Amino acid sequence: MCYAIIQAESKQAGQSVFRRGLLNRLQQEYQAREQLRARSPQGWVCYVTFICNIFDYLRVNNMPMMALVNPVYDCLFRLAQPDSLSEEEEVDCLVLQLHRVGEQLEKMNRQRMDELFVLIRDGFLLPTSLSSLAQLLLLEIIEFRAAGWKTTPAAHKYYYSEVSD
């Protein structure tokens, strides 16, 4: 919806007031992200989902917005911390967003993606309070990236065999 508004505004007025306002609001929430997470875990997950969607859809010269690369990475790094990995909703968000924007983010900054996956790997290998679902999700995203950001037929069968088509 934001993308449609930005496109319409750009065509009609040749301006980007909405986009500027949206990015300013994202920046405000980003700066207060720890408070948001403490106040409302669901709000935090929604914010991460939203900023990843904006990164995925808003383009400048057919490229993702460079200004969002580090904030998106920072949010994903926060989701990969041990206290977040013990919360299934945050693990689910981390994995879903990596499925959505992981490949694009890696193209923008491979070193940070490598560092993020070190955290994810360590979180998987050194489980303190990980649920079996969280372990499964982390293993799946590790394999997904290792397979070039694609799900192999064998992985699909293994991870999704219980899901009806």
pLDDT in tens, 78-109: 999 999 999 999 999 999 999 999 999 999 99
The pLDDT of residue 127 is 63
Please compute the mean of the pLDDT values over residues 3-26 and round it to a whole number: 78
The pLDDT of residue 29 is 93
- The percentage of residues in the chain with a pLDDT greater than 90, rounded to a whole number, is 65
DSSP string, the chain: -HHHHHHHHHHHHS--HHHHHHHHHHHHHHHTHHHHHHH-HHHHHHHHHHHHHHHHH-EETTEE-HHHHHHHHHHHHHHTSHHHHTSHHHHHHHHHHHHHHHHHHHHH-HHHHHHHHHHHHHHHHS-SS--HHHHHHHHHHHHHHHTTS---HHHHHHHHTTS--
What are the pLDDT digits (tens) for 105-132?
999 999 999 999 999 999 998 767 789 8
The CATH number for 1-161, chosen from 3.40.50.20, 1.25.40.180, 3.30.70.2860, 1.10.10.10, is 1.25.40.180
The pLDDT of residue 44 is 97
Going by pLDDT thresholds of 50, 70 and 90, the confidence category of residue 164 is very low
Output 131 or 157, whichever has higher pLDDT.
131
The pLDDT of residue 4 is 75
